[in-house]
Amino acid sequence: GDSVTQMEGPVTLSEEAFLTINCTYTATGYPSLFWYVQYPGEGLQLLLKATKADDKGSNKGFEATYRKETTSFHLEKGSVQVSDSAVYFCALSDRGGAQKLVFGQGTRLTINP
């Protein structure tokens, strides 16, 4: 079945550092790809998405590019802030199905001032 693999965490960075969180996927179809963020004590918020190869999703300074050839969707940000501390989830959905989301295990990010 479909699956998502994220880089193991936790990740700790200093403020203004460059961030990369790796995500690779396995899917039988042509999925849509997502990054969700979960702040402490809250549900999931959609951060960005991409629906076809070479699409770049972006939001709040975060970016991720849908790479079909490497089955990857790595999350990047050029300069992180303390407020970016959260858990980040990579996910996919089979666009041909009922939009069931398959999530990675999550990466906890901590930004120190």
Partner 1 sequence: DAGVTQSPTHLIKTRGQQVTLRCSPKSGHDTVSWYQQALGQGPQFIFQYYEEEERQRGNFPDRFSGHQFPNYSSELNVNALLLGDSALYLCASSFNVPGIKTFFTEAFFGQGTRLTVV
Taking the C-alpha atoms of residue 48 and residue 87, their distance in angstroms, rounded to an integer, is 14
Give CA separation, 39 vs 19, 30, 42, 107, 109, in Å. 17, 29, 6, 12, 10
- The verdict on 105 binding partner 1 (CB under 8 A) reads yes
CB 55 to partner 1: min, Å: 14
Q: Going residue by residue from 24 to 63, which x/- string records binding to partner 1, judged by CB under 8 A? A: ----------x-x----xxxxxx--x--------------
- The verdict on 12 binding partner 1 (CB under 8 A) reads no
Q: In what order do the strands lie in the sheet with 75-77?
A: 19-21, 75-77, 62-65, 56-59
C-alpha torsion sign, points 16, 109, 92, 22:
positive
- The verdict on 100 binding partner 1 (CB under 8 A) reads yes
| 16-24, 52-60, 67-75, 102-110 -> range binding partner 1 (CB under 8 A) | 102-110
Interface residue list for partner 1 (CB under 8 A): 4, 34, 36, 41-46, 49, 89, 91, 95-106
